[in-house]
Amino acid sequence: MAAMVKEVCCCEGGGVAVGGGCQWETMKEWQKWLRTWEEGTDDHDMGQAGDAELFVQTLNLSGGRSSNISGVLDEFLLSHPKYQKLLQVTTRVCHHLRLFHNRKVQEGDMGGGITAVQIETNMQELVKLVLTQCSGDLDYSTKQKFLAVARSFYYTAYCSPGTINFHIAKVLFDRVV
């Protein structure tokens, strides 16, 4: 496991590096995720809920905005109440979207106990958290990363692979007028 984490986090693997080596916080997040993945859970989908947290943390770590002079993620950011709330809501949204998608793929069913209304309500809560500004708030860029991760899960849950591939091809290869 340690070798896999090092490969993911180091410069040679295309990860985030500070001062020529692995960034400690990135490696810590990947180790946490791998431990959860190796241990598994009775509810396979709940074990994968950590994917959203890993993606958000990796985006925030690689963005450079939340690092102090030594390259370590600012503990203030991690303990900020709004950051914690965004992380909680994003993880819940992504978990519900994964359940919805997996049930749809496995059984052709639309949702498996998770309703579109529940998902939409959670997405609305996330959007409200991201767009609402208050005193001492997180910067807009940091909050947008939570929404970007949730949107990627949303897109996967509601669109077929063919549609996703079509959209990717259109964005990459069609001329913008």
Give tens-digit pLDDT for 9-21: 554 344 444 444 4
Backbone dihedral angles phi then psi of residue 117, each to the nearest 5 degrees: -65, -40
Q: How far apart are CA 94 and CA 119, in angstroms?
A: 9
Region 25-46: mean pLDDT is 60
What are the tens digits of pLDDT across the range 100-139? 888 877 776 555 567 788 899 999 999 999 999 988 888 8
Q: How far apart are CA 101 and CA 107, in angstroms?
A: 10
Instruction: Find where tokens 């203030």 sit.
Output: 76
Predicted TM-score (pTM) of this structure: 0.69
Please choose, from the candidates 119, 138, 135, 114, the residue with its C-alpha nearest in 3D space to the C-alpha of residue 66: 138
Residue 47 pLDDT: 47
Residue 39 confidence class, pLDDT cut points 50, 70, 90: low
Residue 24 confidence class, pLDDT cut points 50, 70, 90: low
Residue 86 pLDDT: 94
Q: Residue 87: pLDDT above 50? A: yes
What are the tens digits of pLDDT across the range 133-175? 988 888 898 899 999 999 999 988 888 889 989 988 988 888 8
In the 8-state DSSP scheme, what is residue 17?
E
Average pLDDT over the chain, rounded to an integer: 74
Q: Residue 7: pLDDT above 60? A: no
Residue 67 pLDDT: 45
Output 141-146 pairs: Cβ under 8 A, ≥24 positions apart: 141/63, 141/65, 142/60, 142/63, 142/65, 142/66, 142/77, 142/83, 143/82, 143/86, 145/56, 145/59, 145/60, 145/63, 146/56, 146/86, 146/87, 146/89, 146/90
Residue 82 pLDDT: 92
The set of residues, in sequence order, having a beta carbon less than 8 Å from that of 80 and lying 6+ positions away, is 138
